[in-house]
Structure 1
Amino acid sequence: MADDGALLTAWRAGDRGAGKQLFERYYDSIARFFRGKIDHGSDDLVQEVFAACVAGSDRLRTAASFRSYLFAIAHNVLRDHFRRRQRVGETVDIGEEATLQDLSPGVSTLRAEAEDQRLLLEALRRIPLNYQVIIELRFWESMTTAEIAEVLRTPHPTARSRLRRALELLEASLDRLGEAPARLASTRENLERWALQLRDQRESID
């Protein structure tokens, strides 16, 4: 299987098939990024991401950062989506402290098979969306802090500190849910495992 670099080089040289392979490789990941964050139209946003990727591919610095480049576009598309809703008169606060619970209160939470997973999902919805995205990139997409920095277009040390802050906010959010201490402790200790299982569940429902 060709790596991203080889496919990107071939795509830039005019090989449309290589571009198609790249998009197919990351379609599920980008779809997962939007799924559960908006009440409808996630497929349109996925298409918007890939259209923007085609239009701006010449600005991609290195082939090795293709995945980060895609998620950076997805992050911008998501925020633009909420800005558009604000412009048409919806009461949507897209400030730094806005949570998914604020932005999409009508979006139903994915049914979790385990109570720990339910707690994690609910806690994520209650922290600022910017930090929720960081946690999803780290634990769902297995990105390094260097890759997260590329997505957020911020210096690497800033990305590291934001990840630490995101985990602190998640911890506080779990505490506010008021569940039994043993249940909360289990959720914290198994964060990465639960996150990966939830990621897989999101993939399986479509």
Structure 2
Amino acid sequence: MSETPQALPDDADLLEAWRGGDSAAGEALFARHYDQLERFFLNKVGPEHVGDLLQDTFTACVEARDRVEKGARFRSYLLSTAYNVFCGHLRRKYRRGADLDLDLVSVYDLDPGPSSVIAERQEQRLLLEGLRAISVNYQVVLELHYWEQLSTKEIAAVLGVPAGTVRSRLQRAREALEAAIGALSRSPAMLESTLTRLDDWAQHCAHAMGGRRG
């Protein structure tokens, strides 16, 4: 008689085991979420910075693991840490501190140039460039929504803002993205294809940036 496969431990169980001193549980947590964490950074910074930001995020998580609220989703906690690490990186690199308003400045404003992410289709490339052309906080909220499929409540937990703020930011971010794509597109047909299938192209981009490790 064959044995019933054991269910994999969920994030909460792994987190509790890690807090109890099980280093393997911590490694399993990070391995489970590595791809989405790498994806978070890929279209925002040059490839030379991704490894350092991943390491900084993991280090911050290790140092704060006992402060994660019981019942909180580890994925939201990890992405929130990544967001804070990313914001700190921008403020240090561009030496503008609190004067760097991430509601106004875009990744492209800070580092002009095309995305370093390889895109198979022109629609994907157009979407990636459009995301880099809107404000950093708009880019983040759209990528969390489209790529990570986070709910409004989950995005609010990641960014540390009320859910109502996320809803209004998502609406404004979509409008900004459509305008950016419209300005970047050289073909009416390409523009229509990208905008009418935005969810599909966003998922194609997410899959292209996942599982990149050899």
Q: What is the TM-score of this pair, normalised by structure 2?
A: 0.87
User: Counterparts of 1:63 and 1:7 in 2: how far apart (Å)?
Assistant: 12
User: Counterparts of 1:93 and 1:107 in 2: how far apart (Å)?
Assistant: 22
User: Counterparts of 1:72 and 1:142 in 2: how far apart (Å)?
Assistant: 15
Q: Does 1:50 align with 2:58?
A: yes
1:165 maps to 172
2:146 maps to 139
- Residue 66 of structure 1, aligned match among 67, 70, 74: 74
1:38 maps to 45
Contact 2:114 2:129 in 1 (8 A): no
TM-superposed CA distance for 1:204, in Å, is 5.3
- Residue 84 of structure 1, aligned match among 86, 92, 110: 92
Q: Helix, strand or coil: the match of 1:41?
A: helix
Q: Does 1:3 align with 2:10?
A: yes
TM-superposed CA distance for 1:36, in Å, is 3.2
Please list every run of at least 4 consecutive aligned residues from structure 1 whose deviation after the TM superposition is greater than 6 angstroms.
none
User: Counterparts of 2:52 and 2:16 in 1: how far apart (Å)?
Assistant: 27
Query: Partner amino acid for 1:13?
Result: G
TM-superposed CA distance for 1:19, in Å, is 1.0
The aligned length equals 203
- Residue 192 of structure 2, aligned match among 143, 165, 185: 185
Q: Which range moved further: 99-108 or 142-151?
A: 99-108
> Which segments of 5 or more consecutive residues in structure 2 lack a partner in the other structure?
1-7
TM-superposed CA distance for 1:183, in Å, is 2.1
User: Counterparts of 2:156 and 2:115 in 1: how far apart (Å)?
Assistant: 30
Q: Over the residues paired in the alignment, what is the CA RMSD in angstroms? A: 2.0
Change (3 A) 1:9 1:204: closer
> Which segments of 5 or more consecutive residues in structure 1 lack a partner in the other structure?
none
User: Counterparts of 2:16 and 2:211 in 1: how far apart (Å)?
Assistant: 32
Q: Does 1:75 align with 2:83?
A: yes
